[in-house]
Structure 1
Amino acid sequence: MRVISILGSVFLVSACIKAQAENNEEQLLIISDGRIKDTSVVSPSSRISAQELQSISFNTVEDAISHEPSVIVRRRFIGDPNGVIGIRSSNMFQGTRSMVFADGMPLHYHLQTRFSGSPRWSLVSPAEVAEVELIYGPFSAEYSGNAMGGVVNMTTKTPTKRKVILQGSLFSQDYSIWRTDENFNGGRAFIAYEDRFEDFSLHLSYNHLENDSQPQTQYNAGIITSPTANARTVSGGFNGSNEFGQAVIYYADSGPTNAVTDLFKAKFTYDINNLKLRGSIAYEERDRKQDSANNFIQDENGNTVWNGLVQLDGQAFNIRGSNFQNRDQDRNSLLSGLGLSGDISSTWLFDAFYSNFRILDDSEVRTGRNPLDPDFIAQNNAFRGRITEFEDTGWDIFDIKFGTQELFGNPSQRISLGFHVDSYELNIIADDYNSIDNIRPADETDGDLSSGRSDSGGKASTLALFAQYGYTLSEQWDLALGLRYEDWETKDGYSGGNTVEDRTESGWSPKFSLGFTPNDSIAVRYSLARALRFPIIEELYRNDGATSDGSVFISDPSLQPEDGIFHNLSFEHTLASGSVKVNVFYDVVDDVIFNQSTRTDIGSITTSLPVDEVTTKGAEFTLQQQNIWGSLLDIRYNLSYIDTEITKNILNPEIVGNDFPRMPNWRSNLILSYPLSDKFKMSGSVRYASDSSGRLDNNDTEENVFGAHDEFIFFGVKANWQLAKTTLLSAGVDNIANEQAYVFHPWPSRTFYLEATHTFGE
């Protein structure tokens, strides 16, 4: 069935090309980003342009949505590969409930979850972005249940003439916590060549980013109430508390993480009569090192103590030597896509797009102990080191969509139809090794895939059909109906050397939306949708035995799809140069898949726990206004309230009534921009979020400590100086007040940045 469906879709594309060749006198309407009109009609949305993005720090592409309503991106530092995203009722560790596209190419990483499942933001450079649109909720049949939170659609700039663009940035973070008091510095360089040759446009670019982060982990240990005679007397630690309010001693931090990214990219468009062919290929090399752990503890002779039982001021605690591992990760990946859009007739359009993503090389090496630890060689010889690799990992996705705004010659009716097929594969190979200097080559496995005790992986695929119908009932009333069918299949699953039975699931997702526009400036709409979010490969199959640091990951191959009902009532008032919007939403999701980690004295345990039911009530207010009150001041402001509660859980009834983890009740963002002259513009920004819990039991209530999820308010300022038509200088500061706050890991402290852009050929 899948092969027949794909071949049928290819035939339809061929038929479209033939029909267009016979009817090329009609005006072309391209849906090059793969969207259909009803998606933005039935769904709440927010847009931000490239010009508006100049008002905030825009060092990496995920910064583009950092100030948008009901959105959180946990970017821990500039260059962070783990910039997980949460939208509305989906928290930042539920990345499988959000979708991210750039010109129709998927950047979301629906192979893994939690921090490993963050979108591949770095496959797009900030200088490429023309506009970003956020679509909230799964109210359109165009998108799968992975849009339970929402969809991020980025549109990049299309070359119009020959240009060479040079851009350089410098940034510096002032960090001082515990025994680390340093400036962590980095920079970014971008060069692009763009050209237009009649019907053909070309973009070639290279983006290099290198940065040192603040220490991401702070190590602590619980106090042992009965010290033993074997405990060595030490100095240098700090008394404090953990996220549960328990007394602990902080004895180290992880030191900086050095992140280096190189992105090579080529894009083209080619107009063929009234068709548009588009293609893109992005190759990324990423290297991440952590080899400068900051150990606070010294013995009576001034020697660093790397592990064992010690006592500080009569308080005994254990130092875990595995915390001081050196880590080195190399990751090379390739994302390519090819699309074709155009008219089928005077009223029908189509858009077809194929994308392919492959991890070419991804390996992480962890030593057993720190090389300065006297037990370093012995621990590595005891197979305490670890290498983790990805093999045969990636995806293939094909979409074809058809749409018309005039069905059967009736301009009051519209319809969109589509077909989707995807195929995902994940293979994680995790082995011990006995020497940091003698690691087996990445292509030499210990037998077949799935033979190792911690190897895991498998395949998952989906075939989907959708229809979205709209009918203009009158000048004031509009009705939209949608239906999506999905057929999901897993196969070749394995976990720790054990194979897992194949599975198939299917389901229907109906959509309903009713709009009322009493006049040209006011619009009211109610949207209702069901959505199914099927488990991903890691949630089903990943089972790690105890690693060198004692950590364990336990998945569940029997997980059922998340099944949710979503409501949204929107009010919009259009202003002369802006708008005011209010959204009220209510979501109920059954069989919620949540990956939670619990830290223990010997490591951490991560499980995929299904929660029977989670209910969300929320509201958003947004104001966007240019030249407010007749002045030159522009404003973008939003305020969100979200109450996400566990309302049913048979397995553990004690958590019923608790807040769902990592979901602040309040979020608010403000951007103000004011031109001081024709060439000089000042902007100020504020980001706020209330505190939250990181656990289902809500027991992590301590504030401003490692592991907490704190309330924060971050102030930023930016200045743009248009030195010449071709030259722009920018400077700014984020977190001006240097507020210390944690999102389990520490948020960035005060960060300065400077950027210059020069264009040849303007």
Structure 2
Amino acid sequence: MYGPFSAAYSGNSMGGVIDITTRMPEKFEAGGDIKSTWQDYSFYGKKKTFDSQEYSFNVGDRYKDLSFRFDVSHLDSHSQPIAFVNPLSTGNATAADTVVTGAIANSNPYGVSAQVLGESALNHTVQDNFKWKLGYDITPTIHAAYTLGLWQNDNNAGFNSFLRDRAGNVVNSGNVNIGGKRYAANFAETRAEQMHWSHGMNLKSDTGGVFDWDLAGSVVEYGTDLSRTSTQTPTLAARNGTGTVTSLTGTGWHTADAKGIWRPGADLLGKHEVSFGFHHDLYTLDNPVYTVANWQSNDTGAISSNSQGKTQTEGYWLQDAWDFNKDWNLTLGGRVESWHAYDGLNQAIANGVLKSLNQAERNELEFSPKAKLTWKPLDRVQTGLSIGQAYRFATVTELFQTTTTTVGGITNIVNGNPNLKPEEALSSELSGEYFLDQGKLRLSLFQERVKDAIYSQQTLLSTGAISSTPSNVGEIQTYGIEFAGEASDVGIQGIDLSGNATWTDSRITENSASDAAAARAGATAANPNANQPSTGMRQPRVPEWRASATIGYRPTDKLTTSVSGRYSSPQFSQLNNSDINAATYGSGGTAYFIVDLHAKYQITKQVSASAGIDNVNNQEVWLFHPFPSRTYFAELKYNY
């Protein structure tokens, strides 16, 4: 079982769960990998090439009961622009405004005329990942493991202004005159320095007998997390000067889980597997913003704003998988969760003075029942009916993070909402599977009703800034059909097929309180339909159609090739679906169909080479920001 249908997982598993465990070596092994990519970028007719290189290495071994594994990777990546400076006019130009050319006429996501002044958030990222894992077999059936992880990231988010003055000089700051209208050109460079530590601990038994248990814990710590932005013009910023430093240093979380599985040997009206457990997590937010004299070197200064807070969840769950007949299984479970939000603090400058607001503590207690009935009438056929309730509590950032940051010249205004209610979902699914000789087919009908859905709507303002505030959506109803399948050696040996297609009708069925507030606020210059209701509209970020398919061909034991296609219908970002122009920055998302070509050749037992082209048809895709254009990649891998 997965997502909301398993009592073992909390409410944030509504969309599904991926549980990954790294295999420990049984003997000496080592490997290395070199990968390069090149992207042909051409949005707005600006043709460029962006490249990245990634290098990785791993080594591991086992000596008697002790095993170890060490993995390291290094990434040096240049991205396409993630954002565009795309403001509305602030009025008629004056004689003091610089007359410029090069801007590109455009419409914002809501259909209002705007000008694209240039590219922003051109990220040059250098990342290093280190992972050390030790395993020890205390007995043949009791295993201990410890994992230490280190992630380092240095990022420089640059910009590229399209604007030129009469002399042909680049213009990247100040008020400019475009066709007699005034626009504000506000480009800026942003730099990030991050170092995060993670620890994982696990102790478990694996007898496969009457009783097994599992203890696990994790700690994630933001040792250093700083984002630096100049408040000077780009010319002055190159010579240091004032700026802001946004810090997340000290933010982090820890988790602890205990799990038991009881497999009674007696026939208690059938075979049972009873599992139960406990979960604990604590999330901490520490997010001051400093005004600094030197934006490139100062780490702290006078506080201009601050967001702090904690959330804690404790859960207890019980589940029984009961084979009451050789063809039937009934799984029943329940989960109790206690949630606590506390130590919330927001600070901001008002009239030159730092003002503080202590947020009220919050407590919630919820119970989530789960059930699944499985019937296997034939060896090749299996059907299942699942129903489950789940609660997702607001995250510490959704509650308390209220801050304004700038990345590559784009201002991001984030507003927390300490009054968010927990999101409550009632999900159901009817599925059928048919097992082939080498593959399977699956058809499922699904439904989900979510009350007080938590959604953070990102809105593009007239200045080109992005504002986001999480809120509760009264009720969302979702219905859908999904078909998925995979098969090997179809027709002729070496032909493999896999794919899936999903149709979804997901709509906001009740949101009267928010609609009334939007009507009172009225339309805005950036969005003339901001005051329109959301009730009856499609759920943002959920397309009606989504599909993917892959055809693989193995002409020899050494060569594997594949052709893949991905499709999505358009989607919205605004609750009232007022973002009608999908092909621009800040939109919900364009429809797209992307084709990928991949090939792998096993040169020797240890050495393999891969190459391919992603988005070979060079589809222009917008999902709030532009996605990569046609991208070539090559990879060389060695495993011993």
Q: How does the TM-score come out when normalised to structure 2?
A: 0.91
Amino acid corresponding to residue 748 of structure 1 in structure 2: P
Distance 1:550 1:757, change over 3 A: closer
Within-5 A mapping of 1:557-576: 557-576=418-437
Q: Does 1:317 align with 2:182?
A: yes
For residue 717 of structure 1, the aligned residue among 587, 590, 597 is 597
Moved more, 298-307 or 575-584: 298-307
Task: Give 3-state SS (helix, strand or coil) of 1:208's partner.
Answer: strand
Give, as a single letter, the amino acid of the residue that structure 2 aligns with 1:234. Answer: V
2:11 pairs with 1:139? no
- Which residue identity lines up with residue 427 of structure 1 in the other structure? D
CA deviations over 1:500-535 (Å, ceiling 9, x no partner): 122211110011111111111111111111101111
Q: Aligned letter for 1:574?
A: F
Q: Distance in 1 between matches of 2:92 and 2:183?
A: 12
Q: Alpha carbons of 1:615 and 1:250: their partners in 2 closer, same or farther (altered >3 Å)? A: same
What residue in structure 2 maps to residue 456 of structure 1? 307
| Segment drifting more, 192-201 vs 597-606 | 597-606
Compute the RMSD of aligned alpha carbons.
2.1
Is 1:754–2:634 an aligned residue pair? yes
Q: Match for 1:399: what amino acid?
A: D
CA distance in 1, matches of 2:323, 2:374: 9
Say if 1:255 and 1:294, in contact at 8 Å, map to a contact too. Answer: no
> Are residues 1:386 and 2:244 paired?
yes
Per the alignment, residue 337 of structure 1 pairs with 200
Q: How does 1:524-563 map to 2 (within 5 A)?
A: 524-544=383-403, 551-563=412-424
Contact 1:429 1:454 in 2 (8 A): yes
For the Cα contact (< 8 Å) 1:221–1:317, is it kept in 2?
Answer: no
Instruction: Give, in whole Å, the separation in 1 of the partners of 2:207 and 2:582.
Output: 59
State the alpha-carbon separation in 2 of the partners of residues 171 and 513 from structure 1: 45
Against the structure 1 CA distance between its residues 277 and 255, is the aligned structure 2 distance closer, same or farther, given a 3 Å change threshold?
closer
Question: Structure 2 counterpart of 1:403, which letter?
Answer: I
> Residue 694 in 1 paired to residue 573 in 2?
yes
The answer on whether the counterparts of 2:459 and 2:586 sit within 8 Å (CA) in structure 1 is no
Q: Secondary structure at the match of 2:34?
A: strand
Residue from 505, 516, 520 that aligns with 1:643: 505
Distance in 2 of aligned mates of 1:334 and 1:409: 48
Is residue 629 from structure 1 mapped to residue 491 from structure 2 by the alignment? yes
Q: In structure 2, the residue corresponding to 1:256 is in which secondary structure?
A: strand
Q: Give matches, 1:449-598, under 5 Å.
A: 452-496=303-347, 497-544=356-403, 551-598=412-459
Structure with the largest fraction of strand: 2
Alpha carbons 2:120, 2:410 under 8 Å: kept: no
Alignment length (residue pairs): 609
SS at 1:652 equivalent: helix
CA contact (8 A) 1:224 1:315 kept: no
Counterpart of 2:182, as a letter, is: F
Q: 8 Å contact 2:213–2:259 — kept in the other structure?
A: yes
In 2, distance between residues paired with 1:258 and 1:231?
32
Residue 471 of structure 2 aligns with which residue?
Answer: 609
CA displacement at 1:229 relative to structure 2: 4.3
Report the CA distance between 1:404 and its aligned residue.
2.6
TM-score scaled by length of structure 1: 0.77
Distance 1:670 1:207, change over 3 A: same
1:247 corresponds to which of 110, 113, 133:
113
CA distance in 2, matches of 1:393, 1:178: 39
Query: How big is each residue's C-alpha offset from its partner over 1:415-456, in whole Å with a ceiling of 9 and x where there is no partner?
Result: 1011111111111011222333552x35xx65xxxxx45211
- Alignment check: 8 A CA contact 2:85 2:410 kept: no
Give, in angstroms, the shift of residue 409 of structure 1. Answer: 5.3
Letter in 2 for 1:412: K
Residue 423 of structure 1 pairs with residue 290 of structure 2: no
Give, in angstroms, the shift of residue 152 of structure 1. 1.3
Q: Distance in 1 between matches of 2:91 and 2:258?
A: 65
> What are the residue-to-residue correspondences of 1:271-286 with 2, within 5 Å?
271-273=137-139, 274-286=141-153
2:541 match: 662
Question: Deviation of residue 391 (structure 1)?
Answer: 3.2
Amino acid at match of 1:279: Y
In the other structure, the counterpart of 1:266 is 132
Distance 1:535 1:409 in 2: 43
* Aligned match of 2:230: 367
What letter matches 2:258 in structure 1? I
Q: Distance in 2 between matches of 1:317 and 1:276?
A: 68
Q: Secondary structure at the match of 1:156?
A: coil
Matched, 1:288 2:155: yes
Cα deviation, residue 224, structure 1: 6.1
CA distance in 2, matches of 1:542, 1:699: 26
Task: Give unmatched runs, 5+ long, in structure 1.
Answer: 1-42, 44-134, 447-451
Q: Following TM superposition, by how much is the alpha carbon of 1:188 offset from its aligned partner in structure 2, in angstroms?
A: 0.7
Distance 1:249 1:508 in 2: 51
Contact 2:173–2:234 (CA under 8 A) maintained in structure 1: no
The answer as to whether partners of 1:326 and 1:369 remain within 8 angstroms in 2 is no
Give, in whole Å, the separation in 2 of the partners of 1:736 and 1:376: 39
Amino acid aligned to 1:204: F
What amino acid maps onto 2:188 in structure 1?
Q
Quick check: which one's helix share is greater?
1
Q: Does the 8 Å CA contact 1:377/1:435 hold for their aligned counterparts?
A: no
Over 3 Å counting, the alpha-carbon distance change for 1:677 and 1:316 in structure 2 is: same
For residues 18-33 of structure 1, the aligned pairs below 5 Å read none
User: Do 2:244 and 2:295's aligned partners in 1 also have CA atoms closer than 8 Å?
Assistant: no
Per-residue deviation at 1:631? Answer: 3.1
- State whether residues 110 and 580 of structure 2, in contact with CA within 8 Å, keep that contact through their aligned partners in structure 1: yes
| Residues 522-578 of structure 1 deviation map (CA, whole Å, 9 limit, x = unaligned) | 111111111011111111112226879664322221211101111111111111110
CA distance in 2, matches of 1:491, 1:344: 41
User: Is 1:199 aligned with 2:60?
Assistant: no
Give 1:346 shift: 3.5
Q: 1:487 to 1:675 in 2, by over 3 A?
A: same
Change over 3 Å in CA distance of 1:550–1:169 after alignment to 2: closer
Question: Deviation per CA, 1:24-67, whole angstroms, max 9, x where unpaired?
Answer: xxxxxxxxxxxxxxxxxxx3xxxxxxxxxxxxxxxxxxxxxxxx
Which amino acid counterpart does residue 627 of structure 2 have in structure 1? Answer: W
Distance 1:369 1:668 in 2: 47
Which amino acid counterpart does residue 723 of structure 1 have in structure 2?
Answer: I
Post-superposition offset of 1:248: 1.9
**1:29-108 alignment runs, 5 A limit:** 43=1
Any idea what the Cα deviations from partners look like across 1:713-756, whole Å, max 9, x if unmatched?
11111111110011001111100011111111111001111111
C-alpha deviations, 1:187-219, integer Å up to 9, x for none? 111111111212222111211111100111122
* Contact 1:334/1:358, CA 8 A, preserved across alignment: yes
Deviations 1:282-306 (CA, angstroms, capped at 9, x unpaired): 1111111113x11111111222222
- Single out whichever of 408-417 and 633-642 deviates more from structure 2: 408-417
* TM-aligned CA distance change 1:255 to 1:146, over 3 Å: closer
**Superposition deviation, residue 672 in structure 1:** 1.5
Matched residue of 2:491: which SS? helix
Counting aligned pairs with the same residue, the percent is 28
Q: 1:370 to 1:618 in 2, by over 3 A?
A: farther
- 2:262 aligned with 1:404, yes or no? yes
Distance 2:462 2:109 in 1: 15
- Distance in 1, Cα, partners of 2:207 & 2:595: 51
Whole-angstrom CA distance in 1 between matches of 2:582 and 2:415: 29
1:73-97 superposed Cα distances (whole Å, 9 cap, x missing partner): xxxxxxxxxxxxxxxxxxxxxxxxx
Q: Distance in 2 between matches of 1:493 and 1:737?
A: 49
Q: Does 1:726 align with 2:577?
A: no
Partner of residue 303, structure 1? 169
Match of 1:355 in 2: 218
